[in-house]
Amino acid sequence: MIRDLAGKPVAEWRRYGPEDGLSDPEYYALDASHPGVVEHLRSVFRTLKKWGATVFKTDFLDWGLKDTAGVQRHDATRTSVESFRAVLQAIREEIGEEAYWLACIAPYAPCLGFADGMRVSNDTAISWNEGSQGNMLQETTASQYFNNLFWQNDPDSVVLRDYHTGLDAAEVESLALWSGILGGAITTPELPDRLPPERLALLRFLEPGEKATASFPFWERERKLRVAVREYTGPVAWAVLALNPAGEPVTERFDVAALVGEPEAFVWEWGPGRANALGRRRDLVVETVRHGSRLYYLSLDEGPPAADLTLGGARRRQAVALDR
């Protein structure tokens, strides 16, 4: 284990109270400079691959990255980053290039070349707060420029359940659509058979297709609503999502040219199983409730979004009829 300069193991977590509900009161990080640690981790991931695992998530990776000047390691000649990278390389070699690897609570730079996905925000909370949903909206916006370049950005889990949650229906839909339009990783803790029909339809609507990254037309200047735009191949069309991060209703006007680069487009208000024609427009006046959102499909022709098209750009085998 990593030890401090006095030789005492460095505890990352201490959970002593009964309210924590954890059987292990203390948590420690392994010393990545020790060859036995690297071989142990190789064995763990080699075994998981033999069991058939193809998707891997490694959490709390920053625990293993400590400034060498402030800790004792088995091999003091190597920097903390050298030891950290050696572990990452060992894991990748064991799981293979074909596996999908999501790194979580991890330093960005040392993970370059190893991770397929990277958490970029705080944990998802079961009620809207600035430290969770607010942080996610800020961090996914700020880091979108390297999404699908270094790796797929991961905004953390999409919460869709209607039990054990403080999120209302508008908040659930807003957060799900935001994750779905970005073009990064989509994860959820939900059991699909426990979701009500409308939430299951929302989950299916997020299905990723072609790897495409949403753009933020107002990235460099703050607007009341956060706006993400995703372009689709085939028919010239775009998804436009406007999300309200404020705790009060917001109305804002946008020029179509500023959104998609065309002076006008045919606009549909869009969602799982629905598409309502708004006509050919040069601007959009977006009205949202607190933490609410509006999703639009913009096209150069008058055709609606294909019934089997998902927000993520997939074409579902079993199309859902759109209510028009």
Which pLDDT band holds residue 237 (cuts at 50, 70, 90)?
Answer: very high
171-203 pLDDT, tens digit each: 999 999 999 999 999 999 999 999 999 999 999
* pLDDT at 323 > cutoff 50: no
What ranges do the domains of the chain cover? 3-205
In the CATH scheme, what is the code of domain 3-205? 3.20.20.70
Instruction: Specify the pLDDT at position 211.
Output: 82
93-130 pLDDT, tens digit each: 999 999 999 999 999 999 999 999 999 999 999 999 99
Instruction: Specify the pLDDT at position 22.
Output: 67
146-165 pLDDT, tens digit each: 999 999 999 999 999 999 99
**Are the C-beta atoms of 203 and 135 separated by less than 8 Å?**
no
170-179 pLDDT, tens digit each: 999 999 999 9
Please report the beta strands in 186-273, taking only residues with DSSP state E, as ranges in sequence order. 226-232, 237-243, 250-255, 265-271
Three-class secondary structure of residue 246 per DSSP: coil
What is the crossing angle of helices 169-182 and 135-142, to 10°?
20
The CA radius of gyration of the chain, in Å to the nearest whole number, is 23
Q: What is the distance between the alpha carbons of residues 115 and 152, in angstroms, rounded to a whole number?
A: 9
126-139 pLDDT, tens digit each: 999 999 999 999 99
Which pLDDT band holds residue 221 (cuts at 50, 70, 90)?
Answer: confident
Instruction: Specify the pLDDT at position 25.
Output: 83
Task: Kindly report which listed range (10-19, 177-186, 232-241) carries the lowest average pLDDT score.
Answer: 10-19
Computed over every residue of the chain, the mean pLDDT equals 93
Instruction: Specify the pLDDT at position 321.
Output: 47
**Are the C-beta atoms of 253 and 282 separated by less than 8 Å?**
no
